[in-house]
Structure 1
Amino acid sequence: MSSIYIYWDESHLWGLLAWRAIKSWGLPHRLVRGDEIADGLLSAEPPLMLLVPGGWARAKYDHLGEQGVSEVRSYIRHGGVYMGFCGGTGLALTGPYGLGLCPWKRRAFTDRLQHACSGHMFTRLGERGGLTPDVLPERPLIPVWWPARFEYQPRDDVRVLATYEAPGPDFWVADLPLDSMPKQPLADLETQYGIRIWPEFMTDQPCIIEGNFGKGRYLLSYAHLETPSSPDANLWFAHILQRLTGLSPAVGSPSVLPAWNLDSLERRWPDAAGGEALAAAKAALEEIIALGMDHLLIFRRNSWLLGWRRGIPGAYINSLYSMACQAQNLVPTPEAEAYWKNHCDAFLENLDMFSHGLAGYLLAERLAMSVPESSGDIPSDSLREQRTALFGQHMQYGGLFAKLARVLDKLLWLALRDGGD
């Protein structure tokens, strides 16, 4: 039976969200990696859809390599279906490190705050019918998590399904919750200081688009329709999957994707297979999160998503924590069990160094925010060096984080690739 392939490389938290949605609806699926695609998997065993989650588009491109890129383009050109969320959308665009499925390019940001937007937004629909279900409300409320933007060009071969309209009740810009900020005083401050906080730049910008590439189709969304507990988004995602693949959620499955409560995921990975080590990893990351929360650097957005003060590497911490929580909740395959036994000792050693270094870094950041300059400040170069050792260069993650993420990423792939749970 043909199924949905989820491109796993460099997806981390966002890959888990996509997997969890497809799994919750009981749809046949398989996790695939760039080297498998480069080796001809899409032509040998064509899927109903290639679903590409969020993450860093350039890294996804690099994992495919030239041959993998050619294989994806050939699969779509000959009748395949591509659906991308966020980073998966960026991967499909035209330009450096893009597949060129869609003729549009990624639009550059003119202000770093433009990339710091997260939460639900009210949207305006294009024509209903086809990939847009009739039962959606007039202004669907759908989530974006730090989206990039399309370089809009009116073309007959690119159809806009939705545009952004206005922020929803849980919308944040950086670490500022807009719903708690009176709009007129905020507008006065923007005028007085020449800053732009209210995301007017997003209004009327395309959010979800579709088009054709050869005999195939693509649907690209900077909105995360796979977000748990997001009714309008989940309804739309299920409708798109049915229209593009013919697959409908299993009878009895939830129409709204269930909440993903990371804290309360029970441990199912057996002790004999290294479950205690995974539990220790989860606990170590929880200590880091608690430290960040105690010092007002990290906070809870919802049951699966952290928030953080601007400049704090909260996205990396959130990603590791989500992977550790989900991994310990799985029943391992023999391949996953063997891999973890071979890597858990080195992983825990690196995690210990990471936790110690990150605790010091978070405290240094807190002191840098709070200690008066007359008392001697913490040099920014020192903070930058600490962060680089832990997380690598900006937008090119590395350091101890990369070592930990690679192990958890492969562990999850081995446990889940053939539909495991």
Structure 2
Amino acid sequence: MQPAQPIHILWDASHIWGLMAWRALRALGLSCRLVKGQEIAEGALLGKPGSRRDAGRAAPPPLLVVPGGNARLKALALGEAGRAAVRAYLERGGSYLGFCGGAGLALSHRDPREGLQLCPWSRAAYPQRLHHLISGHVRVCARSGEELAPPGNARDKDGAVLSLPVWWPGRFAAENTEGVRVLAAYTAPDADFWLADLPLQRIPAHVFEAWQALYGVNLSADFLTNQPLVVSGAYGRGRYVLSYSHLETPQSPDANAWLAHLLRRLAGLEPGRELVPGWELGEPAPAWPDYKSAAPLLDALRRTRALLDLAVEHHLFFRRAPWLWGWRTGLPGAACNNLHAALCTAVSSAPSGWALDYWRGIRPRFAELAALFAAGAEGYLLACRLAETLSPTLPDAVDKRGLDNQREALFGHPMHGGGLIEELLAMTEELIYLSQDAPGA
């Protein structure tokens, strides 16, 4: 029997990762709801109606899920009142499940405004900045015999051996082990592991050794060995699980089975399945009743997909999965993935009345911005390609400062966002947020 409240998913600064978590929970047959930091600050986790959309809801949710994304921006969206409300929710027995940026949010920070301070550990830096750019599946040694440990059958002498996905994760600083349980630790890269835009399994080990000797750069991924990947602990009467693995990744059997297990243990829910199906971000069927009204959304999606195809054609981006493009180091692939996933979701989601009211107000601005962004981004990416081609013979032909200024105007800061794409993304994500209460959503 489902509880009165659905699982709550923190929507702020989550982008594609929030969509992936929302999609995964619904695919597992569970009721869930996107919430903003302001709603949490107003009492959404504590049984206090925070807005007209909460009318009639008086029970706390069984679980707060915090997806990946920028932890600092999530903390800012929660504000002091929201951060205090999350801690109060756990103190009273609530459960917290954080993936990647959501894991980082729960850690202890020197500046308490940047995190929740649920876990006594902090976030560690990587030995080299390049090491943060890891993605794909990794082999993991998971603890056996604990309630929150994965239910996998494969075992070695140390525990369960799993293949789990990571997508540009942070890293735990394990200052001490008191009160924190390591549920899983890295052992080695798996088949589709990449470091930035380098597929590690396609590079012989002796080449790694030569690169380290010649250039002083360690690309072997041995910096991961035995590092914590998933941890758990208690806060008040509640519990948290923090995972730098995205257990909600589509069609990742070990990860999805562990996610289903955690939902049972943390929230007392019974998923209807244990595998998150594939996520095909191709050409979604529009769910809007009025195609004319939705035309700017459809046009923006068409332009964004054309931009991704152009970047692939010029070897700037590459397809990683049906839902994800990889990118050459330094290019704005993350922002393009965020916008594409949001547009696909908005187009394929039937709008609620609130969403239609909102759309009528922003539609002219959205259409204008979408056209400006598409033209500017096309020029920027092609200029990047030209600069790369000319660099051996004419290294100063394409002005780097001009490229940097163009990127900032279009895409903002690589970590903090901004630019035209940020405004487009904010509008699209607000549509998704407002449409979640539409029939069939």
- Band the TM-score falls in, shorter-chain normalisation: over 0.9
Q: 1:382–1:136: structure 2 CA closer, same or farther, 3 Å change rule? A: farther
Deviates more, 1:312-321 or 1:266-275: 266-275
Residue 9 of structure 2 corresponds to which residue in structure 1?
A: 6
Counterparts of 2:32 and 2:439, CA distance in 1? 6
Q: Which of the residues 189, 195, 201 maps onto 2:217? A: 195
Q: Which of the residues 411, 428, 431 maps onto 1:408? A: 428
Counterparts of 2:337 and 2:209, CA distance in 1? 32
Q: 1:129–1:110: structure 2 CA closer, same or farther, 3 Å change rule? A: closer
Q: Which of the residues 268, 277, 280 maps onto 1:258? A: 277
Residue 52 of structure 2 corresponds to which residue in structure 1?
A: none
**DSSP-derived class of the 2:177 partner:** coil
Residue 25 of structure 1 corresponds to which residue in structure 2?
A: 28
Residue 71 of structure 1 corresponds to which residue in structure 2?
A: 85
Counterparts of 2:323 and 2:69, CA distance in 1? 16
Deviates more, 1:37-46 or 1:265-274: 265-274
Q: State whether structure 2 residue 188 is matched by structure 1 residue 166.
A: yes
**DSSP-derived class of the 2:46 partner:** helix
Residue 206 of structure 2 corresponds to which residue in structure 1?
A: 184
Native 8 Å contact 1:119 1:143 kept in 2: yes
Counterparts of 2:232 and 2:214, CA distance in 1? 41
Counterparts of 1:397 and 1:133, CA distance in 2? 35
Distance apart, 1:418 and its partner CA: 7.5
Distance apart, 1:293 and its partner CA: 1.2
Summarize deviations over 1:144-190 as a string: whole Å, max 9, x none. Answer: 00000000123231000000110011110000011111122222222
Native 8 Å contact 1:28 1:419 kept in 2: no
Q: State whether structure 2 residue 383 is matched by structure 1 residue 364.
A: yes
Counterparts of 2:335 and 2:317, CA distance in 1? 12
Residue 56 of structure 1 corresponds to which residue in structure 2?
A: 70
Kindly tell me the number of residue pairs found equivalent between the two proteins: 418
Native 8 Å contact 2:9 2:22 kept in 1: yes
Residue 56 of structure 2 corresponds to which residue in structure 1?
A: none
RMSD, aligned α-carbons: 1.5
Q: Which of the residues 107, 110, 114 maps onto 2:124? A: 107
For residues 380-391 of structure 1, the aligned pairs below 5 Å read 380-391=400-411
Whichever residue aligns with residue 126 of structure 1, its letter is R
Summarize deviations over 1:291-348 as a string: whole Å, max 9, x none. Answer: 1111110110010010111111101001100010111111111111221222122112
Q: Which of the residues 68, 91, 95 maps onto 1:81? A: 95
Native 8 Å contact 1:29 1:418 kept in 2: no
Counterparts of 2:391 and 2:168, CA distance in 1? 32
Residue 37 of structure 1 corresponds to which residue in structure 2?
A: 40
Residue 270 of structure 1 corresponds to which residue in structure 2?
A: 289
Q: Which of the residues 306, 310, 316 maps onto 1:287? A: 306
Q: Greater relative contact order: 1 or 2 (C-alpha under 8 angstroms, separation 6 or more)? A: 1
Native 8 Å contact 2:144 2:150 kept in 1: no
Q: 1:136–1:414: structure 2 CA closer, same or farther, 3 Å change rule? A: farther
**DSSP-derived class of the 1:397 partner:** coil
Counterparts of 2:439 and 2:288, CA distance in 1? 16
Counterparts of 1:317 and 1:57, CA distance in 2? 20
Whichever residue aligns with residue 86 of structure 1, its letter is C
**DSSP-derived class of the 2:183 partner:** strand
**DSSP-derived class of the 1:109 partner:** coil
Q: 1:27–1:281: structure 2 CA closer, same or farther, 3 Å change rule? A: same
Residue 234 of structure 1 corresponds to which residue in structure 2?
A: 256
Q: State whether structure 2 residue 355 is matched by structure 1 residue 336.
A: yes
Native 8 Å contact 2:151 2:257 kept in 1: no
Counterparts of 2:292 and 2:14, CA distance in 1? 25
Whichever residue aligns with residue 43 of structure 2, its letter is G
**DSSP-derived class of the 1:143 partner:** strand
Residue 51 of structure 2 corresponds to which residue in structure 1?
A: none
Counterparts of 2:235 and 2:218, CA distance in 1? 38
Deviates more, 1:291-300 or 1:267-276: 267-276
Counterparts of 1:126 and 1:372, CA distance in 2? 50
Residue 325 of structure 1 corresponds to which residue in structure 2?
A: 344
Counterparts of 1:214 and 1:41, CA distance in 2? 19
Counterparts of 2:400 and 2:350, CA distance in 1? 44
**DSSP-derived class of the 2:93 partner:** coil
Q: 1:158–1:420: structure 2 CA closer, same or farther, 3 Å change rule? A: farther
Q: 1:177–1:65: structure 2 CA closer, same or farther, 3 Å change rule? A: same
Distance apart, 1:129 and its partner CA: 3.1
Structure 2 portions without partners, runs of 5+: 48-58, 156-160
Distance apart, 1:107 and its partner CA: 0.3
Counterparts of 1:221 and 1:235, CA distance in 2? 14
Counterparts of 1:338 and 1:28, CA distance in 2? 25
Distance apart, 1:372 and its partner CA: 4.4
Residue 55 of structure 2 corresponds to which residue in structure 1?
A: none
Percent identity, aligned pairs only?
44
Residue 298 of structure 1 corresponds to which residue in structure 2?
A: 317
